[in-house]
A and B are shown apart, each in its own frame.
Chain A
Amino acid sequence: DSGVTQTPKHLITATGQRVTLRCSPRSGDLSVYWYQQSLDQGLQFLIQYYNGEERAKGNILERFSAQQFPDLHSELNLSSLELGDSALYFCASSEQGAGTEAFFGQGTRLTVV
């Protein structure tokens, strides 16, 4: 158990809908990262938050957004969903902005039908 908790584990939704994925980092970790894992693209970095502020942005679509709350949990919002958004979404956390170790949650499997 990495200490990073993601909910829900599975999500099935229709095209055009909006979903929210939730992540609770390890206790004491200030940094949260979101990654998307799909079969053809591998693990793609989406966005990073550090202590409530956006720190780095990767290949995140405009339809997607995220935030980190004062209690350090984070949410990833995916809107106007398309079939191609079906993937595993991982959250990871680390102590600092660029900590030596990043610990991953179990992921949320999103299926868009």
Chain B
Amino acid sequence: GEDVEQSLFLSVREGDSSVINCTYTDSSSTYLYWYKQEPGAGLQLLTYIFSNMDMKQDQRLTVLLNKKDKHLSLRIADTQTGDSAIYFCAERRGNTPLVFGKGTRLSVIA
């Protein structure tokens, strides 16, 4: 399809791991990104992965990339209430601006 797809909602308990999934569209996409948007705020770049990588880890965040299935995931370890936000997956196709998914709203239950 044409769209970057994400599930709309995810709810986890504080201390558990969260896994947010994304399916992107273009197997030739060079970079794939995760952004976080807190209520009333702009988009904060969390991490990105180059398409020739399978995994990237940055503190509590782990990004996994499956190029064959065009599947990207973001794992947040030890999820905290401050992680409650909307998480956007985005892809860069060649030399074009980022294309975003509709976002996954993560709710963390204390």
Contact = CB atoms under 8 A, between A and B. Distances in A.
A45 B42 contact: no
Nearest to A33: B97
A104 to B, nearest CB: 4
B96 interface: yes
A43 B41 CA distance: 14
Contact of A42 (B45, B95, B101): B101
B88 A43 contact: yes
Contacts of B43: 43, 90, 92, 104
Interface residues of A, number: 22
Interface string A72-102: 0000000000000000001010000110111
Interface string B90-105: 0010111111111100
B45 A103 contact: yes
Contacts of B48: 100-101
A15 B42 CA distance: 26
Given A2-B44, A42-B103, A105-B42, A56 B35 contact: no
A106 interface: yes
A42 B42 contact: no
Interface residues of B, number: 21
A19 to B, nearest CB: 19
A58 interface: yes
A58 B102 contact: no
A106 B41 contact: yes
A107 interface: yes
29 contacts: A2-B45, A35-B100, A42-B100, A42-B101, A43-B43, A43-B88, A43-B102, A43-B103, A45-B97, A45-B99, A48-B97, A58-B97, A90-B42, A90-B43, A92-B43, A92-B98, A97-B95, A98-B95, A100-B31, A101-B48, A102-B33, A102-B45, A102-B98, A104-B43, A104-B44, A105-B42, A106-B41, A106-B42, A107-B41
